[in-house]
Structure 1
Amino acid sequence: MKTKFYFPMIFSLLVMVMSLFTACSDSDNPLSDTTKPVIDLNSPTEGQVLAIGSEHGVHFEMELSDDVMLKSYKIEIHNNFDHHSHDTRATGTTVDFTFNRSYDVSEQRTAHIHHHDIVIPANATPGDYHLMVYCTDAAGNEAHVARNIVLSTTGGDDRHH
């Protein structure tokens, strides 16, 4: 009679102990990740002047990292002016420049990003703009960095060697 009582109790205890040893740790489970990724944007810098109409794309460089796994990043550029102007050019000769593109960096914990994908057309409206970078990790945590940049027809310092 005693063996009938002890057997289910010992079996239950054994199952609980085995489940503790085989369970995933929190660091292996992307759903338990609550830490945002880290963005270290090297270029463009705050206040950098970028050339309108340059045949070379804007030098864009950054480091991304996450404690578990990265997923994607997005670059967005939009104007930061209130549309009043003292410009003597005819209306409609320029357009407000926008850029919005996403990139996949899945299956990486760190990524060095360097490209020249952002090309500012010759008819872009000069002025103040915001450059935003968003990074999302595999668990859906998002970080962002914002920079003020200036688009100019008289030159810029967006070239590198």
Structure 2
Amino acid sequence: MKLIKYAGALCLICATVLSGCSKDEKTVDTEYPVIDLSAASSFPKQCSELKRGETFNFKALLKDNAKLGSFSLDIHHNFDHHSHSTEVNSCNMDPVKAPVNPMLYIRSFPIPDGRNSFEADVEIAVPSDIDPGDYHFMILLTDAEGWQTIKGLSIKIK
């Protein structure tokens, strides 16, 4: 009787181990997605200037080795000269000042399922009554596995 229990347990262990071995193992995605602003039509770029009361289009090529997930855009003031820019060159900065009515824009956008390349084109209105000055334009791109790339640009609103 004990032999039957041991044989049954051994068969169960072998079945578990063998079921875990498969030639169809899924490859794990460990690559970060890419925010490509190199095209002439990409906008904004480092040190771009925007005008109050006008609209502009954010344009970028978003890529991943497997599948894209979503992207977010964040525009916020940089009147205190904080830094999280990912660009090497710096821009001419206005003097430090306290915000009165700064622009704040934060939105997330889904990317159609199954895409590994996506041309983002988002129209953004710049309110006419906001404080002019130095701003950050943050682009956050997440792939389907959760890897995220952040690009921070310094821009100016006139």
Instruction: Output the CA distance in 2 between the equivalents of 1:34 and 1:80.
Output: 33
Query: Aligned-pair RMSD on alpha carbons?
Result: 2.6
**Counterpart in 1 of 2:53?**
53
Aligned partner of residue 22 in structure 2, secondary structure = helix
1:24 aligns with 2:62: no
Task: Give how far 1:18 is off.
Answer: 9.9
Q: Deviations over 1:31-58 (max 9, x none)?
A: x21111000132111111101012xx21
Task: Give how far 1:126 is off.
Answer: 0.2
Instruction: Output the CA distance in 1 between the equivalents of 2:116 and 2:63.
Output: 6
Task: Give how far 1:17 is off.
Answer: 9.3
Task: Give how far 1:143 is off.
Answer: 0.2
Percentage of identical aligned residues: 29
**Counterpart in 1 of 2:136?**
130
The correspondence for 1:67, drawn from 65, 68, 72, is: 65
Q: Deviations over 1:8-29 (max 9, x none)?
A: 99xx69x9499433x3331xxx
Q: Give the letter for the 2:48 counterpart.
A: Q
Higher helix share: 1
Instruction: Output the CA distance in 1 between the equivalents of 2:119 and 2:25.
Output: 30
1:37 aligns with 2:33: yes
| TM-score after normalising by structure 2 | 0.71
Residue correspondences, number: 126
- 5+ unaligned residues in a row in structure 1: which ranges? 1-7, 27-31, 86-90, 153-161
| TM-score after normalising by structure 1 | 0.69
**Counterpart in 2 of 1:81?**
79
Q: Deviations over 1:72-99 (max 9, x none)?
A: 00000000013636xxxxx96xx10011
Structure 2 CA distance for partners of 1:129 and 1:25, relative to 1, 3 Å: same
- 5+ unaligned residues in a row in structure 2: which ranges? 1-9, 81-95
**Counterpart in 2 of 1:29?**
none
Which is further off, 72-81 or 105-114? Answer: 105-114
Instruction: Output the CA distance in 1 between the equivalents of 2:97 and 2:58.
Output: 30
1:115 aligns with 2:122: yes
**Counterpart in 1 of 2:5?**
none
Structure 2 CA distance for partners of 1:19 and 1:151, relative to 1, 3 Å: same
Structure 2 CA distance for partners of 1:149 and 1:18, relative to 1, 3 Å: closer
Instruction: Output the CA distance in 1 between the equivalents of 2:19 and 2:102.
Output: 63
